[in-house]
Structure 1
Amino acid sequence: MKELNKRHFLNYSILIPYLVLSILGLIIVFSTTVPHQIELGLSPYQLFRNQTIFFIFSLFMIAVIYKMKVEKLRSRGWFGILIPIMLALLFIARFFTPTINGAHGWISVPGIGTIQPAEYLKLVSVWFLSATFATKQNKIAAQDIDALFDRHKFWSNFVTGWRFWVILMIGAVVVMPDMGNALLIIISSSMVFAASGISYRWTTGFIKIFGGLSLFALAILKLTGGNIIPSVFSSITYVNKRFVAFANPFQDTGDSGHQMINGYYAMSNGGWFGRGLGNSIEKKGYLPEAHTDFVFAIVIEELGLIGAMIILGLIFFLIMRIFMVGISAKDPFNSMMAIGVAGMFFAQIFVNIGGISGLIPSTGVTFPFLSQGGNSLLTLSVGVGFVLNISADEKRRELAEKTEKYDVSDVSRLSLVEK
């Protein structure tokens, strides 16, 4: 039997949508950033060039991750290096960099642009929990919750346990303050927790508590008009403005509600079929952050509701294919990692669209692939690289099992070449 290279197991139902969305994202970035750069008196193509460089580097990272053995990716040794590096970068961003739109979190690197550690921490948290819970499957299968949570040695094991590091990662992002990425880490980590095999009572209980608290918080914002943060907390007044805009954007059209209202205008201008690619009115100085947080409003304005729905359909197809890899995977790490990546994608879409539509307060979360932001694109791409590798590993495993079932002699001749 002919040896099978790893490329024979490549999942094109994930790779092709990813490539289409990434290339479409470059077009949207070009359309939305050129007017923004001209308005600021900067090079019109600078942000587009940066996004293109990140895309090329993303393809390289996908290739590197795909070539690696899943056993190496499953190793927990990575996190003794990655998590301290991420936390150190967040510390630098918080205390040694200027604020951007009321928050820290970006580290300027000459020749590259900016690095946003919180973006990468989303994927690191999913990876960390997947690798951790994969080693606890015997305890989970036995429903040994005491052992899983180390209840009998709670304080002595807390600092070295997974709970401490998850809380630390979320807390480090919150103090930026970056509530959007903190929320994404919570949601995607919860997806891994739910997929780990822990009793459904724990999962459904967490969903009920989280959902109940979220609805209560949204109700409070609506009832109070969103003005709930005292003015003495000057460092996070921008958060209060977003709450006020969520409660009633038309209450302050010139300040807190300005972005939300112009986002509504952009979506209204688009109608069913849009004004045409590049013909947005709102991106020409009217809608702040038209190339990042509110890029999907510009997509609707230029491509119309139908064009936007086609893009959403393609993204949800990609998410479902990733999710199905996790559902069908037999290896615990493979399953949790794929489901966590799918959850990360879905959470980012939900939070972004929820923000621009007024369903939830705007949190500054970018739209996957379409928003300008090389850090976001690289994080999503690395996630896709993980899933492609996991999918190939599961296919190889399934094919080897089928071959062994029908002809044991074929197993020795059927191998997956890691090159």
Structure 2
Amino acid sequence: MSRLARLKGRLSTADQPFDGWLVLAALSLLLIGWVMVTSASSEVASSLTGNAWYFSLRHGVFLLAALVAGGLALRVPMAWWRANGPLLLLVGLALLALVLLVGREVNGSRRWLSLPGVPFNLQASEVAKFCLILYMAGYLERFLPQVRREWGAFLRPLAVMAVVAGLLILEPDYGAVVVMTGAVMGMLLMAGAPWGRFLVLLLLVGAIGALAAVAEPYRMARLTSFADPWADQFASGYQLTQALIAFGRGHWLGMGLGNSVQKLFYLPEAHTDFVFAVLAEELGLVGAIAVVGLFALLIWRAMAVGRRAELAGLAFAAYVSYGFALVLGAQAFINIAVSTGMLPTKGLTLPLLSYGGSSLVVSSMMVALLLRIDIETREVRRRARPTARRAGPGKAPPSGKRQGSTS
């Protein structure tokens, strides 16, 4: 490809208002999620409320609220999020502390806040996840050279993460701890922190995890049931064995939409944590791979948005993009891995797809901010383009404009 053709390709990409593939992947997952929640919850809804469409209608309301929240987030400039990162972190920490005091307990976990006059609960960890990424992105922008050189600057964000993790463990919500810790460490790695520090931390975290696993009998039960769920398929291994049966029924093309057998009171939490198992049973291997492909497309485009922002000199926007991509990717991977027996049960929803208002709203806001970052980055590049043209084909643009014009 000639130099002129490459330049035309770059200009045509910059002329687009936003990343269409990112929007396509997110909207496709939202619509597939509504269809699958409707299918997976119909029998449970009929048994509990007498209305087979109960959870479907609620999910539709959540979906509308998520789109409204995403639209509002899209209108807020990234400069506002950057300036208010520390305040947002305090809000997240306050919610995590509040849920321990007055939160609603479900299945032995205290994770939800009941809001007066609102017919649904707020999951504090979802809001904290969003706030933490914004704070970490601002920290990395301010102290990037120190993070790369000094242990102190490297450990400070991990100390903040330790406080968040401590509050989450008290709920307990170990799945959120894994997702947030992975996202923070991934952001530090992408910021250029030395590899040796991560090896030391991985050994330390591994040792702490092993001690935590043997400290409580129910954690050991989860690990042993994960290793061999069929050994106790009617107790600790029940949920996983039922999910694996769902995958086995699906074959290549599935049993057909709405024809799942496992959702008939065999598979617990079929429309929340294990909606992917019902999807695989009804749509088969082809449908399951298509959904995995949509998640891969979403994460790829989110990383591409971050890369473009980084090349344009928008460090805060870049690290926000990387953080959101890591959160969405890690949570999707863990949920699917749990459903397929690759990881022990964590109790995490599938982003943009599972039933649940808090997860749906926060995930939609993450996608909206990715779009906002992409729009602002493209605007910066469009402004830099005339400078590059004035420089002429044989001249280099000014140093302050080089990244924006050639990225």
Give the TM-score of the pair, scaled to structure 2.
0.84
In the TM superposition, what whole-angstrom CA distance separates every residue of 1:202-226 from its partner, at most 9, and x where no partner exists? 34x2575379659x95xx99xxxx8
Q: Paired residue for 1:144?
A: 149
User: Structure 2 matches for 1:183-332, cutoff 5 A?
Assistant: 183-203=178-198, 205=199, 209=203, 217=210, 228-230=214-216, 237=218, 239-330=219-310, 331-332=314-315
CA offset at residue 319 of structure 1?
A: 0.7
Assess if the C-alpha contact under 8 Å between 2:32 and 2:353 holds in 1.
yes
1:22 and 2:30 correspond: yes
CA offset at residue 83 of structure 1?
A: 2.9
CA offset at residue 341 of structure 1?
A: 0.8
CA offset at residue 102 of structure 1?
A: 2.0
The runs of 5 or more residues in structure 1 that have no matched partner are 1-5, 151-160, 232-236, 409-419
Flag the 1:114–1:307 CA change in 2: closer, same or farther, 3 A: same
CA offset at residue 253 of structure 1?
A: 2.1
Q: Which residue type is aligned with residue 80 of structure 2?
A: K
CA distance in structure 1 between the aligned counterparts of 2:216 and 2:201, rounded to whole angstroms:
30
Q: Which residue type is aligned with residue 340 of structure 2?
A: S
Assess if the C-alpha contact under 8 Å between 1:50 and 1:112 holds in 2.
no
Candidates 164, 167, 172, aligned match of 1:172: 167
CA distance in structure 2 between the aligned counterparts of 1:119 and 1:403, rounded to whole angstroms:
42
CA offset at residue 165 of structure 1?
A: 2.6
Assess if the C-alpha contact under 8 Å between 1:354 and 1:362 holds in 2.
no
Say which SS state the counterpart of residue 190 (structure 1) adopts: helix
Flag the 1:58–1:139 CA change in 2: closer, same or farther, 3 A: same
CA offset at residue 387 of structure 1?
A: 0.8
Q: Paired residue for 1:50?
A: 58
CA offset at residue 329 of structure 1?
A: 2.1
CA distance in structure 2 between the aligned counterparts of 1:116 and 1:170, rounded to whole angstroms:
15
Flag the 1:148–1:86 CA change in 2: closer, same or farther, 3 A: closer
Assess if the C-alpha contact under 8 Å between 1:196 and 1:332 holds in 2.
no
Flag the 1:25–1:255 CA change in 2: closer, same or farther, 3 A: same
User: Structure 2 matches for 1:35-74, cutoff 5 A?
Assistant: 35-74=43-82
Deviates more, 1:111-120 or 1:304-313: 111-120
Q: Paired residue for 1:358?
A: 341
Deviates more, 1:166-175 or 1:191-200: 191-200
CA distance in structure 2 between the aligned counterparts of 1:69 and 1:148, rounded to whole angstroms:
28
Assess if the C-alpha contact under 8 Å between 1:134 and 1:333 holds in 2.
yes
CA offset at residue 407 of structure 1?
A: 4.2
Say which SS state the counterpart of residue 109 (structure 2) adopts: coil
Assess if the C-alpha contact under 8 Å between 2:154 and 2:193 holds in 1.
no
In the TM superposition, what whole-angstrom CA distance separates every residue of 1:138-189 from its partner, at most 9, and x where no partner exists? 434xx43156258xxxxxxxxxx54443221111111101101111111111
Q: Which residue type is aligned with residue 72 of structure 2?
A: V
CA offset at residue 229 of structure 1?
A: 4.6
Say which SS state the counterpart of residue 115 (structure 1) adopts: strand
Flag the 1:308–1:146 CA change in 2: closer, same or farther, 3 A: closer
Candidates 372, 375, 378, aligned match of 1:389: 372
Q: Paired residue for 2:131?
A: 124
Flag the 1:85–1:137 CA change in 2: closer, same or farther, 3 A: closer
In the TM superposition, what whole-angstrom CA distance separates every residue of 1:23-43 from its partner, at most 9, and x where no partner exists? 111111111112111122354
CA distance in structure 2 between the aligned counterparts of 1:42 and 1:128, rounded to whole angstroms:
45
In the TM superposition, what whole-angstrom CA distance separates every residue of 1:297-339 from its partner, at most 9, and x where no partner exists? 1110000011110111111111101011112322211211111
Percent identity over paired residues: 26
1:99 and 2:105 correspond: yes
Q: Paired residue for 1:153?
A: none
Q: Which residue type is aligned with residue 98 of structure 2?
A: I
Assess if the C-alpha contact under 8 Å between 2:125 and 2:176 holds in 1.
yes
Deviates more, 1:111-120 or 1:8-17: 8-17
Q: What is the root-mean-square deviation in Å for CA atoms of aligned residues? A: 2.6
In the TM superposition, what whole-angstrom CA distance separates every residue of 1:252-275 from its partner, at most 9, and x where no partner exists? 222211111111111101111100
Q: Paired residue for 1:342?
A: 325
Candidates 13, 17, 41, aligned match of 2:21: 13
In the TM superposition, what whole-angstrom CA distance separates every residue of 1:387-407 from its partner, at most 9, and x where no partner exists? 111111111111111112224
In the TM superposition, what whole-angstrom CA distance separates every residue of 1:116-145 from its partner, at most 9, and x where no partner exists? 0111212221111011111113434xx431
Flag the 1:295–1:193 CA change in 2: closer, same or farther, 3 A: same
Flag the 1:27–1:146 CA change in 2: closer, same or farther, 3 A: closer
Say which SS state the counterpart of residue 105 (structure 2) adopts: coil
Identify the structure with bigger relative contact order (alpha carbons < 8 Å, sequence gap 6+).
Answer: 1
CA distance in structure 2 between the aligned counterparts of 1:11 and 1:396, rounded to whole angstroms:
13
